Chains A and B, each alone.
Chain A
Amino acid sequence: MTERTISPSIELRDVARAHRPIEWGRWLLWIVVLAVAADFAWIVAYNENFGWPIVAEWFTAASIMKGLSVTLGLTVVAMFIGTAIGLVLAIARMSDDTLFKSLAGLFIWFFRGTPLLVQLIFWYNLSTLFPEISISIPFGPTLVSWNTNDLITPMTAAIAGLSLNEAAYMAEIIRGGLLSVDKGQVEATDAFGMTRGRALRRVIIPQAMRSIIPPTGNQLISMIKATSLVSVIAMSDLLYSVQAVYNRTFEVIPMLMVAVIWYLIITSILNVGQGFIERYYARGERGASDASVRSALRQEEPA
């Protein structure tokens, strides 16, 4: 009895020759899930209410393309301005200067604390609050002044609303990234007599990027979707353009599908782009060159 429990041959016990038992449960699960997915795809494809021919007809229509370009343009501009202001806010918030610190804190508190939709409507209706906008010395003479209605178009209201809101969120993301950089790096830049600006640009921000990029990718994707809110202030973005069509034709679902598919295409492309950017800023982390990655992989293979 004991003879049999001890291995008959040490070769048979070599784990390199081990077989994996067939996992029937997993196979079954795969089959069920695939069947349900196929059925669902079938239902969606053959449900006439989706109006796929209408989707195809409008998918690249001129008005939709125009709306799409507005959505993309608005995203890029708002993200760009938002990140720039966010960087300034983050640095101000981390400074030792109480004035800058409190101003940045106040900004972030306000723009994160109120709904974006409300902010957009406020910007759009700014003229009812301030019929004129002017630059003047406080309690002194006016230097220049504009009529608010001329200044605030749907476009400027949308850009102001989206980018100031974005700035508040980006400020927190950038601040988190800057705090994640090792204190020794800041000390090294100090010891070498680098100015604040150069230290940030050359040493601190490049390292902070590794923890700034992933949440910024999230922000970008939610920004693309947030631009759809500007349809309430008559800015002709992608959603507004499909709404304009279905208000005429009453083909609500097919037109919404046009918008949904475009949103999905853009966000998918962005996901791929984010992957590339993350890999760029990880250089020096896992060894930058292909050769070193390959040799690292080789080391993990069994000899």
Chain B
Amino acid sequence: MNVAAKMAAQATSAPLVQARNVHKSFGENEVLKGIDLDVMPGEVVVILGPSGSGKSTFLRCINHLEAIDQGSIMVDGEQIGYELQSGRLQKLSARAIAVQRRKIGMVFQQFNLYPHMTALENIVEAPIGVHKQNRREAEAYALELLKRIGLSDKANAYPRQLSGGQQQRVAIARALAIRPKLMLFDEPTSALDPELVGEVLATMRDLAEQGLTMIVVTHEIGFAREAADRVVFMDGGVVVEQGSPEVVLSNPSHPRTRLFLSRFIQNS
């Protein structure tokens, strides 16, 4: 699409996400060992890496589902979870953190749709309840989103009545309904049957082309190649290398990246 416009926007504006020296431990186990990452507005960043490399944990730190132990994460000019008050860093209240999260959409591996609500109710829950939109407006936008993901006829279906791929697409629509500045995808296709992965990736590719800022943790190398502006390879709690998909995926400089990619190419 309008790559030039995108590049221009990125050149002029500050990073939307700015992570500096992020450390995180679970007990004795240090999962993140100093992550630095900038994500520009409109950029699609795909994080690849073996299981246990800390990529999902890092993603969950960005909207403070996990609190970090050291370093800082800024989203849209605000430090997540903390506030600088006359030179002293203060922990934010649960309510203030909730407010910070409202501009970040998230899609989970296990979908986490509300099972007692229909697809439409799932989508309008946050816009009405959290963002205080009126019901008619929210439902109109929800129906538009359902149309965009090709599930107009499933508005009144409960999650149980949908396939895994359909559930995940509804979950994406639910996250889009809050008109997020940033979308986080936590292994969105890992819980799906292989034949259902394609429909979810297609939906995500549409979003990438529309210029939404996305951080995607995935094992789908194909998606990274087609949709990513930048690929970040993580291993052992650090960023091993990053760059354009052509460089990182086709001509990786680090042996660990090469090893990881060779395993995937053998499998497919």
Instruction: Write the B81-120 contact mask toward A (1 if CB under 8 angstroms, else 0).
Output: 0000000000000110011111010101010111111100
A196 to B100, CA, bound (A): 15
Q: What is the CA–CA distance of A187 and B126 in the complex, to the nearest angstrom?
A: 14
Is B110 touching A191 in the complex (CB atoms < 8 A)?
Answer: no
What CA separation (Å) do A33 and B222 show in the bound complex? 70
A295 to B143, CA, bound (A): 26
Q: Is B160 an interface residue (CB 8 A)?
A: yes
Residue contact B116 to A283, C-beta cutoff 8 Å: yes
CA–CA, A18 and B162, complex, Å: 38
B100 in complex: contacting residue of A185, A187, A193, A202, CB < 8 Å: A193
Q: Is the CB of B102 within 8 A of A288?
A: no
Contact A195 B98 (CB under 8 A): yes
Query: Which listed residue (B65, B113, B125, B161) contacts A190, Cβ 8 A?
Result: B65
Cα–Cα, bound, A190→B95 (Å): 10
Cβ of B178 and Cβ of A285 under 8 Å apart?
no
| A103 part of interface (Cβ distance < 8 Å) | no
Q: Does B194 contact A (CB under 8 A)?
A: no
A194 touches B130 (CB 8 A): yes
Q: Is B165 an interface residue (CB 8 A)?
A: no
Q: Are B117 and A191 in contact (CB under 8 A)?
A: no
A302 adjacent to chain B (CB < 8 Å): no
* Bound-state Cα–Cα, A287 to B125, Å: 20
- CA distance in complex: A193, B98 (Å): 4
Task: Flag whether B159 is at the interface (Cβ < 8 A).
Answer: yes
Question: Any chain B CB within 8 A of the CB of A206?
Answer: yes
What 0/1 readout, one digit per residue, does chain B (113-152) give for beta carbons within 8 Å of chain A?
A: 1111110000001100110000000000000000000000
A190 touches B101 (CB 8 A): yes
Selected contact of B160 from candidates A196, A202, A285, CB within 8 Å: A285
CB distance from B82 to the nearest CB of A (A): 17
Is the pair A284, B160 in contact by a Cβ cutoff of 8 Å?
yes
Q: Which B residues are CB-close (under 8 A) to A206?
A: 116
Total A-B Cβ pairs within 8 A: 73
State in angstroms the CA–CA spacing of A281 and B159 once bound together. 15
Residues in B with CB closer than 8 Å to A190 are 65, 98, 101
- Contact residues in B for A287 (Cβ distance below 8 Å): 158, 160-161
* CB-defined contacts of B126 to chain A, threshold 8 Å: 192-194
What 0/1 readout, one digit per residue, does chain A (262-286) give for beta carbons within 8 Å of chain B? 0000000000000000000101111
Q: Is the CB of A285 within 8 A of B114?
A: no
Q: How far is the CB of A240 from chain B (nearest CB, A)?
A: 43
Asked if A187 and B129 make an inter-chain contact with CB atoms under 8 angstroms apart, the answer reads: no
Query: Is A207 within 8 A of B115, CB to CB?
Result: yes
Bitwise, A164-205 to B at CB < 8 A (1) or not (0) is: 000000000000000000101101101111111010001100
Q: Is the CB of B101 within 8 A of A192?
A: yes
Residues of B within 8 A of A222 (CB): none
For B101, list chain A residues within 8 Å (CB). Answer: 190-193
Inter-subunit contact B98/A284 (CB<8 Å): no
CB atoms of A202 and B125 under 8 A apart: yes
Instruction: Find out whether the CB atom of A191 lies under 8 angstroms from the CB atom of B106.
Output: yes
- Nearest B residue to A184 via CB reads B112
Chain B residues in 8 Å Cβ range of A288: 158
Residue among B102, B113, B117, B118 making CB contact with A193, cutoff 8 Å? B102
List, in ascending order, chain B residues with CB within 8 A of A286's CB: 160
26 intermolecular pairs with C-beta atoms under 8 Å apart: A182-B112, A185-B112, A188-B108, A188-B114, A190-B98, A191-B101, A191-B104, A192-B102, A192-B130, A193-B99, A193-B102, A193-B130, A194-B98, A194-B126, A194-B130, A196-B94, A203-B114, A206-B116, A207-B116, A281-B116, A283-B158, A284-B115, A284-B118, A284-B158, A286-B160, A292-B161
Across the A-B interface, the 6 shortest Cβ-Cβ residue pairs:
A193-B102, A193-B101, A284-B158, A188-B112, A184-B112, A191-B106
